[in-house]
Amino acid sequence: MTKWKCTICWRQMQTDVKPGLIERLCPDCKVSHWQKVVAIYQTGDTERLAEAKKKLSAAVTALKKTQEVT
């Protein structure tokens, strides 16, 4: 297991593989990030909005998984 810190809140995380620097977000920060991205694309590009909604859904699912474990 590799330890790393979230780039937003600096919470200590641990995973099998250390994610790239831009992808080092804890589940809470990842959900809030994708919520902001979805809000940005609400009035813009529908293709990017669909992709952002998909990633938001995946982030929410991952957050629920981590909440069940703890």
Q: What is the pLDDT of residues 25-70, one digit of tens each?
A: 999 999 999 999 999 999 888 999 999 999 999 999 999 988 886 5
Please state the rounded mean pLDDT for residues 3-27.
93
Please state the rounded mean pLDDT for residues 5-18.
94
pTM (2 d.p.): 0.83
pLDDT for residue 68: 81
The number of folded domains in the chain is 1
pLDDT for residue 2: 93
The three-state (H, E, C) secondary structure of the chain, written as one string: CEEEECCCCCCEEEECCCCCHHHCCCHHHHHHHHHHHHHHHCCCCHHHHHHHHHHHHHHHHHHHHHHHHC
pLDDT over 80 at 17, yes or no: yes
Question: Domain range for residue 47?
Answer: 2-69
